[in-house]
Amino acid sequence: MALVLLGSPDAGGASDDDVRAGDQAMASGHVNAAVSHWRRALSDAEAQAGRGATAQRIDLHLRLAGAMHALGRMRQAVAHLDIAVDRAEALMERSRLAQTLIARGGLLTVTRRLDAALRDLERARQLVESADTPALRIAFTSNLAQLKSENGLKNEALALLRHAIDVADKSDRKQDAIKTRCNLAALLVEESRRNDAVAAINDTRQQVDQLNPSREKALALLTLAALLHRMADSDNPDLLRAAFDAAQAAQTIANNLKDASTESLALGSLGALYESAGQLDHAITMTDRAIARSTVIDRSDVTWRWHWQRGRLLNKSGDTGGAVNAYRQAVRSADGLHNDLVLGVGGDGSRQPFRQRVGPMFYELADLLLTAADASDDPRLAGELTREAMAVVERLKAAELEDYFRDECVRLAQAQQRGVETVDIGTAVVYLVPLNDQLRIILATQAGLTRHRVAVRREQLVATVRQFRHQLEDRTSHDYLAAAQQLHRWLIDPLAESLNKQSIDTLVFVPDGALRTVPMAALHDGESFLIERFALAITPGLALLDPHPLQRGDARVLLGGLSEPRGRFPALPHVPRELDAIAQRFASTVLLNDAFKRERIQESFTERAYGVVHVASHGHFGSNADDTYILTHDGRLNLDQLEQLIRPSGFRGQPVELLALSACQTAAGDDRAALGLAGIAVKAGARSAMATLWHVNDRVSTDLVTSFYNHLHSDPTLSKAKALQRAQVEALRDVNYRHPCFWSSYLVIGNWL
């Protein structure tokens, strides 16, 4: 659903000329020019005093937030709204405070910061009711509807949107009415209520046709065209024709207005429609024109979409070389534009996470590059193409981690990359790339890179992974074995000859998608588990490969945990024994129960550096960083707070080598939650992590973790991966714990040495 951002048209003062020039530039699609004018106006307003200047600054921040949103720069948009809210509070003007809170609440919803969005909209509710201003009521109701929709309350969202339309119609606010109707139609399409959606689109089209030619009219037409395109199929050719009609009408308006930005959107939309109609030549022509128009006005946030579309079209037409170059340009243009769901002006109102929206572009390019490598007779060229394919997927992984944590510093915090062929003797990196129609595996050892192709569709692979994870957590059943053996055939058997020939004893997996949730230790070849033959580790990306052994001689350990029940979380009675066992092997600071509070943790880090941080407490990795936390005695420690505690050690040249979490869990089937698990070490500023995919029996956890640290202490040459391997093998050879439910969920993440 589209986001309603409010900006006042009345920003008086010395900078009126720049304000008007910015408004005119925005109306004609020159968003970057509008930003330049409004920034100059804001600079002038900052030099003035008085309530009028403060009000003007608020209005300009609202305008700039709207422009940043149009450009897909969500963090900058939120930053402008943060300032606008603070200044509106200081001004103590209820209508402007309501306006800024509504706008920020809507944008926080788009970026999936739902709790914060709810707080803003709840604060705005009373202000809106007392002001009784139609514009505020419409914006508030529309943005609240969007929040309800994101929380799964679709019927409530639909009712709110219908109410907002009623208010807009009665107050004769045509633009607001059309925006809200577009939102309603988008939600109906999302809910697959085809008949209702078509009726809503037809109703909106009638309203749009009554408007005078304008950028807003063209954008509304493009929204309707995109919605119709989503619903069109071979059984509904009329919908595709209606989409063409709306897109062509938008292109005519934009051309007459000399609005290059909107015309680029219209031409690109026509290209996609021609593609659906099977007219590739026309599709390529329209797409090329869309690229040209977006380049004129420096809209990289739009250009990447059309380069991607061009690459797809050229590939369909048989021009593989041209397709690869177009995809390369798309990836370059998209670099830096990886907010979690950039809606895009004139889009169809759909909301998808970054991977679903943009991920296919990276995979399609990687597929083309690997296919070219397979076909090449030149080993050097084949190697270059393979490395480029891996680098393309790495860009997706890095952007996805940054997107999950909503932290641009995550990318900067990644360890310096080194070539995968330089891994130690005996270690192999297994790089997994699940494509639509096949699984590609790239094996990297000191002998070089080898490519493998497995004929399994992504849907089948994901279904098997889901089945495996669910069955593994049932300790009363051995049904997991069928999936364990099937996954072994797909993931390990193609590599067996190379692994045996090079005497590999450690496998470092770089998984992707659903494969992030697979406990590789439990894969089975029909005779034994994988962990019985290899030490295992995972890493979210090659950029995190920085092998560096744990310095154990003077390693000091910070031990924290809860054994007492806290709220809905049950007691963990074996935690004291776990912490005591580790403290007997390493110099330690122990924070147990009421000592395990954020303030005491902060004091401990202030007093000394720690090589290992071990936490035995409940924790959860959720679909969003906001849902990810570690339970302390005085509340929940989120990822940002954990980072604030741990990262300064790295700045002092004494980074935490290992962050161990022995009672956390990640829901089966939640691939996005696995990002939090995979990236926890990067986010926190630790070189590596040890964590669990699901919460296991408290006693078993204590025994296994104690064994892990005993092995680390007794053999200084032993890697973390091999220490965990020995602990897991000991557990599976105990007749009481042989089921992989007890031991396979433990993972070494990141630096495995």
609 inside domain: yes
Q: Above 60 in pLDDT, residue 9? A: no
Instruction: Tally the C-alpha atoms within 13 A of residue 719's C-alpha that lie toward its C-beta.
Output: 23
b/e per residue, 84-106, with b = 16+ CB within 10 A?
Answer: bbebbeeeebbbbbbbbbbbbbb
Q: State which H helix or E strand residue 88 sits in.
A: helix 74-91
Contacts of 412 (CB under 8 A, 6+ apart): none
Q: Is residue 49 part of a domain?
A: yes
Residue 749 pairs in a beta bridge with 538, 689
Does the pLDDT at position 658 exceed 80? yes
Domain annotation covers residue 633: yes
H or E stretch at 97 = helix 94-110
pLDDT value, residue 339: 44
146-160, 304-318, 329-343, 577-591: least confidently modelled range? 329-343
Percent share of the chain, pLDDT over 70: 91
Q: How many domains does the chain have?
A: 3
Is 25 a residue whose pLDDT tops 90? no
- Give percent above pLDDT 90 in the chain: 64
Report the SS3 class of residue 303.
helix
- What mean pLDDT do residues 498-519 have? 93
Tell me if 482 is assigned to some domain.
yes
Give the C-alpha separation, 634 to 560, whole Å: 13
With a cut of 90, say whether residue 594 has pLDDT above it. yes
Strands 635-638 and 587-592: unpaired
Whether residue 585 sits in one domain with residue 528: no
Structure tokens at 748: 């070494």
Provide DSSP, 10-58. ---STTHHHHHHHHHHHHTT-HHHHHHHHHHHHHHHHT--SHHHHHHHH
- Is 108 inside a domain boundary? yes
Last residue of a domain, one of 152, 177, 210: 210
pLDDT tens digits for range 422-444: 578 899 999 999 999 999 999 99
Name the band, by pLDDT with cuts 50, 70 and 90, for residue 408: low
pLDDT of residue 7: 44
- Classify strands 746-750 and 688-692 as parallel, antiparallel or unpaired: antiparallel
Burial class of residue 281 in the structure, from the number of CB atoms within 10 Å of its CB (0-12 exposed, 13-18 middle, 19+ buried): exposed
Q: Report the predicted TM-score, pTM, of the whole model to 2 decimal places.
A: 0.87
8 Å CB contact between 343 and 110: yes
504 and 631 share a domain? no
| Whether the Cβ atoms of residue 556 and residue 589 lie closer than 8 Å to each other | yes
Rounded mean pLDDT of 642-665? 83
Paired with 659 in beta bridges are 613, 689
Cα angle for residues 750, 625, 650 (degrees, 5° grid): 45
Which residue do the tokens 């049932």 mark?
A: 474
CA-to-CA separations, 160 to 102, 145, 152, 163, 323, in angstroms, rounded: 15, 6, 14, 5, 45
**Residue 506 forms part of a structural domain:** yes
CA–CA gap between residue 689 and residue 656 (Å, rounded):
10
Which of 166, 192, 210 delimits the end of a domain?
A: 210
Band of residue 553 on the pLDDT scale cut at 50, 70, 90:
low
pLDDT tens digit string along 664-702? 887 667 777 788 888 888 888 888 999 998 888 888 899
- Give the model's pLDDT for residue 26: 87
Q: Tell me the pLDDT band of 351, cut-offs 50, 70 and 90.
A: low
Same domain, 519 and 633: no
**Same-domain pairing of 76 and 188:** yes
Adjacent-strand bridge partners of 612 = 557, 658
Task: Using the predicted structure, report yes or no on whether residue 1 has a pLDDT greater than 50.
Answer: no
Residue 379 to residue 333: CA distance in whole angstroms: 30
pLDDT at 5: 44
| Selected residue with higher pLDDT from 5 and 591 | 591
Q: Quick check: 8 pLDDT over 70?
A: no
Residue 674's CATH number: 3.40.50.1460
Phi, psi of 652 (to 5 degrees): -85, 5
pLDDT at 4: 47
CATH for 95: 1.25.40.10
Spatial contact of 267 and 234, defined as CB atoms under 8 Å apart: no
Question: Do residues 459 and 528 both lie within one domain?
Answer: yes
Residue 524 in domain: yes
Residue after which a domain boundary falls, among 210, 229, 254: 210
Q: Are 522 and 480 in contact (CB under 8 A)?
A: yes
Residue 638 phi/psi, 5° resolution? -85, 180
Bridge-based pairing state of the strands 439-445 and 427-434:
antiparallel
Q: Domain residues for 175? A: 1-210
* Model pLDDT for residues 180-222, shown as the tens digit of each residue: 999 999 999 999 999 999 999 999 999 999 999 998 899 999 9
Q: What is the mean pLDDT of residues 552-565?
A: 88
Per-residue model confidence as pLDDT tens digits over 241-282: 999 999 999 999 999 999 988 999 999 999 999 999 999 999
- 119 pLDDT band, cuts 50/70/90, is very high
Task: Point out which residues pair with 590 in neighbouring strands.
Answer: 559
Res 410: pLDDT: 60
Let me know whether 170 and 114 are in one domain. Answer: yes
Specify whether 583 is located in the same domain as 493. no
Q: How many residues does the chain have?
A: 753
Phi first, then psi: what are they for 539, rounded to 5°?
A: -145, 140
Query: Does 101 share its domain with 133?
Result: yes
Residue 587 lies in a domain: yes
**Nearest Cα to Cα of residue 412 among 396, 401, 427:** 401
Write the pLDDT tens digit of every residue in 359-374: 899 999 999 999 999 9
Same domain? For 10 and 134 the reply is: yes
